[in-house]
Amino acid sequence: MNNLVTSTALTFRWLNGQCFEFRFPNGKTLITDPWYQGCGKLGNRCLPNFTTDQLEGGDYIFLNHTHGDHTANVQDVYDRFHSTVITHSATAMEVARCFNVPLTSIYPVDYEGTYYFDGFILETHHATHHRQPSNYTETVERFKGPEFPGSPELNAMGSIFNMNFVLTTEQGLRIAFIGGNDDGMLKRMQGLQKPNIIIRNKMASSKVKINVAEDFAEWFSTADTQLLIPMHYETWLTEDPEFAQKMITDMNRILKDKGKVGQVAPMERGVWYTLNLSIATIN
Ligand SMILES: [Fe+2]
């Protein structure tokens, strides 16, 4: 195929977990769930040698939820870029207590809201965390160690408050970001609400390694969207990279067998990509 013309919607890269760096056409930048370094023994799953100095921008931080592997580098990003920190309103005060951020730089948002930022529109969706068995006391106990960023309470809130979103760029391209369970989002994203691309956590925790490609491909084929970028599978990339690669190959095969146009992108962490709308000749 030869491109006749290409227009860039945005540039972006996956750093680790649910941490993405987005750069919009007007130059504004958004970092989701900052975790590219540290977080106790989970730190060995990060991209080696990536530091805050290598970030290119951080006008906004968005928190899908407030577990340590989603907040580990909030302070680092804020200190470098003086970001606006977008988080669910129920977590906003605890975020303020845990990080040295001016109160007026914390931007509380609620479920099912629409917010207008410089460079993008944010629509928020109620979500739920993948199932965890622990109650409040057990959760607080688990996150008490100094290796976990944020307070035990902030980490406990991470299991309760979970917020997915759809970004719309100023040119109208729609990107869904689904961190936990989709919680009805698939139904809400039909028709005119449909995104062009979905960035999604796997369907269950990293410990679940049965029917991963089948279940994920089934969900994506129901979404019937053009592109899917899986995220938060750094445990598999670290411990079982062949499994991670096979998940994507299998998903693309299943989608093809189903006659879907949707494709799954094996995004490499740390590499900048451009998302374009193109017209190309068909040879
Ligand atoms: Fe979590």
Query: Using one digit for the tens of pLDDT, what is the confidence trace for 78-102?
Result: 999 999 999 999 999 999 999 999 9
Percent of residues, the chain, with pLDDT higher than 90: 93
194-252 pLDDT per residue, tens: 999 999 999 988 999 999 999 999 999 999 999 999 999 999 999 999 999 999 999 99
CA 32–ligand 1 middle distance (angstroms): 13
CA 17–ligand 1 middle distance (angstroms): 10
Asked if residue 1 has pLDDT above 80, the reply is: no
Helices (H), 48-168: 68-71, 74-81, 89-98, 136-142, 152-160
5, 16, 20: which is closest to 167 by C-alpha? 20
CA 234–ligand 1 middle distance (angstroms): 13
CA 246–ligand 1 middle distance (angstroms): 24
pLDDT for residue 280: 96
Q: For residues 13 and 11, what is the distance between their CA atoms, to the nearest angstrom?
A: 7
Q: For residues 202 and 112, what is the distance between their CA atoms, to the nearest angstrom?
A: 23
Question: Taking the domain 2-281, which CATH number applies?
Answer: 3.60.15.10
Residue 261 pLDDT grade (very low, low, confident, very high; cuts 50, 70, 90): very high
CA 85–ligand 1 middle distance (angstroms): 18
Q: How many CB atoms lie within 10 A of CB 25?
A: 16
Lowest mean pLDDT among 110-119, 202-211, 251-260: 202-211
Residue 145 pLDDT grade (very low, low, confident, very high; cuts 50, 70, 90): confident
pLDDT for residue 144: 87
CA 8–ligand 1 middle distance (angstroms): 32
Residue 146 pLDDT grade (very low, low, confident, very high; cuts 50, 70, 90): confident
CA 260–ligand 1 middle distance (angstroms): 31
- Locate the DSSP E strands across the chain: 2-16, 19-23, 29-32, 60-62, 84-88, 106-109, 114-117, 120-127, 162-169, 174-178, 197-201, 227-231, 263-264, 273-281
CA 228–ligand 1 middle distance (angstroms): 21
263, 65, 55: which is closest to 157 by C-alpha? 65
Lowest mean pLDDT among 120-124, 142-146, 173-177: 142-146
CA 1–ligand 1 middle distance (angstroms): 41
Asked if residue 176 has pLDDT above 80, the reply is: yes
Q: For residues 185 and 187, what is the distance between their CA atoms, to the nearest angstrom?
A: 5
CA 67–ligand 1 middle distance (angstroms): 5
CA 100–ligand 1 middle distance (angstroms): 22
Can you give the residue ranges of every domain in the chain?
2-281
Asked if residue 48 has pLDDT above 90, the reply is: yes
- State the angle between helix axes of 241-257 and 212-223 in degrees (0 to 180), rounded to the nearest 10: 40
Q: What is the mean pLDDT of residues 37-42?
A: 91
pLDDT for residue 88: 98
pLDDT for residue 180: 86
CA 41–ligand 1 middle distance (angstroms): 15
Q: What is the mean pLDDT of residues 130-145?
A: 91
Helix%, strand%, coil% for the chain, nearest 5: 35, 30, 40
Tokens of 45: 């799953």
pLDDT for residue 148: 86
CA 185–ligand 1 middle distance (angstroms): 18
CA 283–ligand 1 middle distance (angstroms): 46
